[in-house]
Structure 1
């Protein structure tokens, strides 16, 4: 049976397994070798070439989930992002990027691209008109992230894909926040899909990884640079990631449900000034999100009213962990200005609309009543006297 005919949870569970031909085990065997034979074999395997048995198998699962021809697994999300960008950008080239991006991605562009002679333009907004205006004669790539980190802004994927094709550009998307459970950019025309696999793919806050999915032709170009940069992942972590991805569909759908209920709760709470969640009808991009997402995800952000102290709120949490990163089965919160977007200047954060008091909320799979109870008591304790 072909993967396109299989259901989500079946793909998560079975596609990309390494067959245990010796002992017939139910799970993929782990091949830890860093040295393989070179004589009388079909393929010369080397970990840095992304082609060990476990690396290749997991890549098939990612490709199947994203509905692409091929995929690769990297050592981190930033390794996936940087390798993909530099594979298609050279000295004298230009890239258009949306203005609302993960801080690490923006920092990569601002700190490194000038050294390589790569020109770049950040759009003024997410309106397609601003993307059109930013395109130059030497533009090669359009890069978007939707939903965005940390304000959950939504970019029109279909319009971006159409624009890129019209100008013969390569379109790239950071699909981390949505995951392929909620959003399939390739089916809407995007060329290259990137993930911090540390997040929803891993889902248990215990691994660091990245992933890229695209056509065979695009992936070959990324591979040619990737083997030289050396951003591959150890096979033990690859094995752990494959294990984690078996429950991807189940985890994310539960997080979707929790997040929608919690966003509604916070949106009505008198202590909360604003909630950023695309699943709320009050969100400016609700209709767009609904048209291109099958679920609204487990991520949101919110701001407390001025009479509440954010630092005290974090310290008062008992169940929810004030913790870096996101998308684990446990609920976590953080301050973007101190973590994900700390590398940006206050001016750069202000341009993106990231307030110092903004709280990013990664919703887990705990019982909603328990999460709500923790938020309620933390808000109560954080009110300024």
Structure 2
């Protein structure tokens, strides 16, 4: 690509990037001229390359520690961006550090003390370090990237973003990437960017051309049987199945495992290590079915999803775009199938209205589905038992913790003895 140095072009070759994507063609030349950028691009459009390459090139020209900060809404996205920076910058010795919640702050403070070139962070945890880690500041920062800015703001990180903007140099380059241009994003753009160039790849909500989208209309009590039917019909593909709650993700994963499918869950109540483990097993194709809540629907680089199933219909139509965007990436084709029960008709009509097309029904053999109901009912029973056992184990672990706390007199007396619920994503 014009203007990108040979050493970085070679790194792109090694990653298998043959041609720049649309957003890269638009954004990279502008970034290399030293301009601020507001990039509007949907998930899977190659945004990371669009900001990583100009940053690495600038770093080559003026090597410096604590050079760039990338803010992202979720931990998974932070790890994925870090992987791309490390891969693109491996031959030039680039060090990046991921600063996110759910990981020990002490080890993070040590990593920051080594002054990495690139910090990839979620806003909350970064502010913790700026306020509490001795000797850590971003006064020399040259680049700020806000990736998936619409989601950062939707997750109520506005106060944290304001705090970060106050303590970094005004004289810096800023790249703001977002899938949608909301009022909050416009306000942030005015506060953080100087005379930016707008690089828009897709202004209308749309789904990729090579994606075949279907729906199936079913009675809600037979949802599980229809899911098993589809997984059998399309066997040999990799699947990403979206559920609306952590609990349903876990339940459906157990149900499918009982029926012999290699399914793994990914949701907000799992520990960070478990989540990364699940993701890596799926990426390495050791598992063919990933069940996820919407925490996983955006920003995760999962290259080989053949079929996306909306097991629970998304309540926000825009989430539909992001979910089905997990397949048909980088020019490949893919399928999506949305389950519509008697309770979901209105939500489904909103989705069709948003994408501007009527979806065809997925061809089904009803009698074959009905033949599965007995086996599925048995697996449901097992899944419920396993869920209950997991819940009891968790509770007894919590009770053990309480006993030790009581022994050292640290217990807080909570009215009615209720425990605080852990906040999920």
TM-score by length of 1: 0.37
Going by fraction, where is helix more abundant, 1 or 2?
2
TM-score normalised by the chain length of structure 2: 0.34
Larger Rg over CA atoms: 2
